[in-house]
A and B are shown apart, each in its own frame.
Chain A
Amino acid sequence: MIEVIDIKKSLPDGRKVLDGISFKVEKGEFLGILGPSGAGKTLTLRCLNGLLRPDSGSVRLHEENHIYEIGTLKKNELRKVRQKIGVIFQGYHLVKSLTVLENVMIGRLGYINSFRSIFYGFTDSEALDAIQALEKVKIDQLAGKRLSQLSGGEMQRVAIARAIFQNPQVLLADEPISNLDPSNSKIIMKMIRPLAEKFPVIGVFHQPEMTAKYCTRVIAIKEGKIIYDGDPVLSNDQLIEIYGDELKLIEKQHPITIPA
């Protein structure tokens, strides 16, 4: 379980970008974070794996016998906690000069010591596990290919395979379908959805129709505050409240059909 308690963050100019965000996500939940541009969605997500430290409040990763306070950890402790948190980024964030399989294997770097990873590399069983992660996202036949030979959808699948191979306790997805066409977006959402059965999944999205269909719960952030937390299916009035004028733009890009 991952828990966010009253996190606040201000920019150097004093503007509050996160203003008391609190939520808790448990195993079995696929939480979608919605909100207009600049609302603080990605910043919240970055606080969850320590890529950003909140000014106040805490982010807690609960294990059976231990609770990690992510916001206050020292460098080495934070590195160890990051092993437990998988991240799928909007722009895939893969190493272009490595093969698909090598990119997937990067997911487990945190678990092996530097000396072995540099002078020996990965073991055969790790390579086999990485291929199995690629099988789960149905691109195992691309294992030996360079990234430049892949489409956007395939690259995002590599990023998902990397997160699966990491064997995380929490999965974070920062706008994982923003760069994809509707058909690839559905494929990616269908791949992410079942992962929530193993660990909590938290994703930032700009597509309310996708969160309505695939997420188990939605929170909406506006001006650094949570203004909605509940059922993933939102009414038109709720969407207007969340997005305001931006709703027309979103409807144009991703026509919203609220499931019955």
Chain B
Amino acid sequence: MKIREIDLKRYRKGIIPVLILAGLVFWTAKICNLNFNHILSGFWKGFEFTLKMFPPDLSTLPELIEPALVTLSEALLGTVFGTLLSIPLAVLAASNTSSPWIRNLVRFFISLERALPEIIIALILVAAVGLGVLPGILSLTLGCLGMMGKLLADSIEEVDPSSLEAIQSVGARKAQVIYYGVIPNLIPKITSYALFRFEINVRLSLILGAVGAGGIGYNLVYAFNMIEYHKAMTAVILIALIVFGSERISFFLRNKIKMEASLK
């Protein structure tokens, strides 16, 4: 009897979060004026529109290659600058390499940056420095700085304190303790996180192009505005290839790093 009572209690407990979630879904759908017919017709219209975009106009491919390269370059530069800057930032944000007040200040800056999506940063920078690749690279650098800064700071805090103490015990200066005791442990992580961030930056730089930060994203939006749907489809295919290619390369390299680390 007792076991049955316990089972029923567990069942009753489980249904409460489900009911809350269902209530939330209905409430938010109402706010968005969403109903089942809307969703269904939306899918259908989307499908019809996609069919209109076929076949892609491959004659426009040569003029899309350069903006595609700009998108990739933006992602690469944002990743490289962001990664390089994130290393000193992470050292300042880690409890074992920095003083408490500097650590708190830098951690606050990192949290603040992470609270702002890259697209918002790009919008602000486009307004501040004008259209082009510069706001794109800057916003990707800042985004990378926030993410890598936090991940690397956490990794630094995990470094074995005994090896740092040993370097300290030979009379090394703080910079030497960090360079010889902390950085070598971080290199596989830095490379792996940077490759992952490059994947993210490729996707982001495509979106940033749409808000005027350069690259093929801008050409896509422009083609839609000019009702050049076949050209837009060519851009979409090129974008899909860029994203797929960058993901595969990043995945391959990260796996290689992981395998090498496990062999060491």
**Which A residues are closer than 8 A to B by beta carbons?**
49, 51, 79-87, 89, 91, 93-98, 102, 106-111, 114, 117-118, 146, 148-149, 159, 162, 166
Chain A residues whose C-beta falls within 8 Å of the C-beta of B167 in the assembled complex:
95, 106, 109
Task: Report whether A109 and B184 are in contact in the complex, using a CB–CB cutoff of 8 Å.
Answer: no
Interface string of B160-197 (1 = CB under 8 A from A): 10110111111111011001110011011000000000
The answer to whether B264 has its CB under 8 Å from any CB of chain A is yes
Task: Report whether A117 and B187 are in contact in the complex, using a CB–CB cutoff of 8 Å.
Answer: no
Chain B residues whose C-beta falls within 8 Å of the C-beta of A146 in the assembled complex:
264
Chain B residues whose C-beta falls within 8 Å of the C-beta of A107 in the assembled complex:
170
A75 CB to nearest chain B CB (Å): 10
Chain A residues whose C-beta falls within 8 Å of the C-beta of B166 in the assembled complex:
87, 89, 93-94, 106, 159, 162
Q: List 25 A-B contacts (CB under 8 A).
A: A51-B165, A51-B168, A51-B169, A81-B171, A82-B169, A82-B170, A87-B169, A87-B170, A93-B165, A95-B163, A95-B185, A96-B160, A96-B163, A96-B185, A97-B187, A106-B170, A106-B180, A108-B170, A109-B171, A109-B173, A111-B171, A148-B264, A162-B166, A162-B170, A166-B170
Task: Report whether A110 and B171 are in contact in the complex, using a CB–CB cutoff of 8 Å.
Answer: yes
Contact of A89 among B162, B172, B180 (CB under 8 A): B162
Chain A residues whose C-beta falls within 8 Å of the C-beta of B184 in the assembled complex:
95, 97-98
B178 CB to nearest chain A CB (Å): 9
Task: Report whether A79 and B173 are in contact in the complex, using a CB–CB cutoff of 8 Å.
Answer: yes
A26 CB to nearest chain B CB (Å): 22
Query: In whole angstroms, how far apart are the Cα atoms of A93 and B165 in the complex?
Result: 8
Query: In whole angstroms, how far apart are the Cα atoms of A28 and B173 in the complex?
Result: 31
B84 CB to nearest chain A CB (Å): 15
Task: Report whether B170 and A114 are in contact in the complex, using a CB–CB cutoff of 8 Å.
Answer: no
Task: Report whether B165 and A109 are in contact in the complex, using a CB–CB cutoff of 8 Å.
Answer: no
Q: Which residue of B lies closest to A110 (CB)?
A: B171
Task: Report whether A118 and B171 are in contact in the complex, using a CB–CB cutoff of 8 Å.
Answer: no
Query: In whole angstroms, how far apart are the Cα atoms of A211 and B162 in the complex?
Result: 26
Interface string of B135-174 (1 = CB under 8 A from A): 0000000000000000000000000101101111111110
Task: Report whether B170 and A109 are in contact in the complex, using a CB–CB cutoff of 8 Å.
Answer: yes
Chain A residues whose C-beta falls within 8 Å of the C-beta of B176 in the assembled complex:
109, 114, 117-118
Interface string of B58-79 (1 = CB under 8 A from A): 0000000000000000000000
Chain B's interface size range is 20 to 34
Knowing A81-B171, A82-B169, A89-B166 are in contact, say whether A117-B264 is a contact too (CB < 8 A): no
Chain A residues whose C-beta falls within 8 Å of the C-beta of B264 in the assembled complex:
97, 146, 148-149
A134 CB to nearest chain B CB (Å): 17
Query: In whole angstroms, how far apart are the Cα atoms of A127 and B173 in the complex?
Result: 20
Q: Top 3 nearest A-B pairs by Cβ distance?
A: A110-B171, A93-B166, A83-B171
Chain B residues whose C-beta falls within 8 Å of the C-beta of A89 in the assembled complex:
162, 165-166
Query: In whole angstroms, how far apart are the Cα atoms of A108 and B165 in the complex?
Result: 15
Q: Which residue of A lies closest to B165 (CB)?
A: A93
Task: Report whether A106 and B172 are in contact in the complex, using a CB–CB cutoff of 8 Å.
Answer: yes
Q: Which residue of B lies closest to A146 (CB)?
A: B264
Chain A residues whose C-beta falls within 8 Å of the C-beta of B188 in the assembled complex:
97
Query: In whole angstroms, how far apart are the Cα atoms of A154 and B214 in the complex?
Result: 56
Chain B residues whose C-beta falls within 8 Å of the C-beta of A110 in the assembled complex:
170-172
Q: Which residue of B lies closest to A114 (CB)?
A: B175
Query: In whole angstroms, how far apart are the Cα atoms of A86 and B264 in the complex?
Result: 28
Q: Which residue of A lies closest to B167 (CB)?
A: A106
Chain B residues whose C-beta falls within 8 Å of the C-beta of A117 in the assembled complex:
176, 179-180
Query: In whole angstroms, how far apart are the Cα atoms of A86 and B170 in the complex?
Result: 7
Q: Which residue of B lies closest to A89 (CB)?
A: B166
Knowing A106-B180, A117-B179 are in contact, say whether A49-B169 is a contact too (CB < 8 A): yes
Known: A83-B170, A108-B170, A110-B172. 13 other contacts (CB 8 A): A49-B169, A79-B173, A91-B162, A93-B165, A95-B163, A97-B188, A106-B180, A109-B167, A109-B172, A114-B179, A146-B264, A159-B166, A166-B170
B118 CB to nearest chain A CB (Å): 32
Chain A residues whose C-beta falls within 8 Å of the C-beta of B169 in the assembled complex:
49, 51, 82, 85, 87
Q: Which residue of B lies closest to A88 (CB)?
A: B166
Query: In whole angstroms, how far apart are the Cα atoms of A81 and B171 in the complex?
Result: 7
Chain A residues whose C-beta falls within 8 Å of the C-beta of B171 in the assembled complex:
79-84, 109-111
Query: In whole angstroms, how far apart are the Cα atoms of A89 and B172 in the complex?
Result: 17
Task: Report whether B163 and A109 are in contact in the complex, using a CB–CB cutoff of 8 Å.
Answer: no
Most B CB atoms within 10 A — which of A83, A93, A148, A166?
A93
Chain B residues whose C-beta falls within 8 Å of the C-beta of A84 in the assembled complex:
171
Task: Report whether B180 and A98 are in contact in the complex, using a CB–CB cutoff of 8 Å.
Answer: yes
Interface string of B114-140 (1 = CB under 8 A from A): 000000000000000000000000000
Task: Report whether A97 and B185 are in contact in the complex, using a CB–CB cutoff of 8 Å.
Answer: yes
Query: In whole angstroms, how far apart are the Cα atoms of A192 and B167 in the complex?
Result: 20
Chain B residues whose C-beta falls within 8 Å of the C-beta of A98 in the assembled complex:
180, 184
